[in-house]
């Protein structure tokens, strides 16, 4: 009995090893495939509260319908981002939830899978999984492609199952190609005046959403930053006193 159990484990062990090797071998491949698009870098800024607040608002309006942030609570977010609770209750809590609850989505995962081919994943940690540059470029590179179910494709995530939910803000982008079969044929071109935002305003909006997702990826980073500033201030004050004390000693030595 023990022997066969051991053997079973051994088999499973080698399977796991094989799988791990496969992952190790395939990871650089998939990354190389994804990084073909020349990524515009994005530098998150957790000190920029208006940006984080706007990101939260945009996320609630344009993303939460499909994607949850289930490791993030409304109340904690409000306190971290300096949003008064009554504003959260009025403007950010749509689904009759309570402020102490997590930001779940009303979307049923099974139905979503039928509609989109893939269920919209939870996005709490997405900035850590994909990186902020990836997210920033992903949300800005949807373009028209009639061959896709939602009529759009994406430069950073080819053949993605997500519709272009920010199209009304950004406007319509094309590649100047007839179909997606012609890969990489030309730059993205924005149809002038087709969106509510100018391209600068749109880039800022996407920046704010990604900044917000960077925050949800590790909310304690905000706290750590504040503690860091406090520690530095403490060190500066300590230095001043040490310096003055040192001068006193010098005087004694000289006399």
Footprint on this chain of ligand HEC (rule: CB under 6 A): 62-63, 65-67, 116, 118, 120-121, 123, 126, 129-130, 135, 138-139, 160-163, 165-166, 209
- CA-to-CA distance for 211 and 98, rounded, in angstroms? 25
The pair of structure tokens assigned to 139 is 């949300």
Q: CB of 4: closest distance to ligand HEC in angstroms?
A: 40
159: left (phi over 0), alpha (psi -120 to 50) or beta: left
Closer CB to ligand HEC, 109 or 246, in the complex: 109
Radius of gyration of the chain (CA): 25
Q: CB of 9: closest distance to ligand HEC in angstroms?
A: 33
Q: CB of 179: closest distance to ligand HEC in angstroms?
A: 19
Q: CB of 237: closest distance to ligand HEC in angstroms?
A: 43
CB-nearest residue to ligand HEC: 63
Closer CB to ligand HEC, 68 or 175, in the complex: 68
The pair of structure tokens assigned to 144 is 């028209």
Place of tokens 């900035």: 127
Closer CB to ligand HEC, 137 or 175, in the complex: 137
Name residues whose C-beta falls within 8 Å of residue 52's C-beta, 6 or more positions apart in sequence: 46, 81, 208, 211, 212, 215
Closer CB to ligand HEC, 83 or 132, in the complex: 132
Q: CB of 78: closest distance to ligand HEC in angstroms?
A: 20
- CA-to-CA distance for 143 and 121, rounded, in angstroms? 22
Nearest to 80 by CA among 251, 224, 223: 223
Closer CB to ligand HEC, 167 or 175, in the complex: 167
């Amino acid at each position: 009995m023990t022997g066969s159990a051991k053997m079973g484990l051994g088999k499973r062990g080698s399977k796991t090893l094989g799988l791990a090797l496969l992952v190790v071998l395939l990871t650089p491949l998939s990354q190389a495939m994804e990084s073909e698009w020349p990524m515009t870098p994005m530098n998150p800024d957790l000190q920029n509260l208006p940006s984080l607040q706007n990101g939260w608002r945009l996320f609630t309006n344009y993303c939460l319908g499909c994607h949850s942030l289930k490791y993030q609570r409304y109340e904690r977010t409000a306190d971290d981002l300096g949003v008064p609770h009554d504003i959260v209750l009025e403007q950010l809590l749509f689904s009759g939830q309570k402020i102490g609850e997590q930001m779940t989505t009303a979307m049923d995962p099974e139905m979503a899978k039928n509609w989109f081919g893939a269920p919209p994943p939870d996005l709490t940690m997405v900035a850590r999984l994909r990186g902020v540059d990836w997210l920033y470029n992903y949300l800005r590179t949807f373009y028209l492609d009639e061959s896709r179910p939602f009529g759009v494709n994406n430069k950073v995530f080819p053949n993605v199952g997500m519709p272009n939910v920010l199209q009304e803000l950004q406007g319509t982008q094309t590649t100047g190609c007839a179909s997606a079969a012609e890969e990489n044929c030309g730059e993205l071109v924005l149809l002038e005046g087709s969106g509510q935002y100018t391209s600068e305003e749109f880039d800022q909006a996407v920046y704010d959403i990604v900044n917000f997702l960077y925050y949800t990826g590790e909310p304690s980073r905000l706290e750590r930053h504040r503690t860091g500033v406090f520690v530095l201030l403490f060190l500066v004050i300590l230095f001043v006193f040490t310096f003055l004390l040192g001068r006193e000693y010098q005087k004694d030595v000289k006399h």
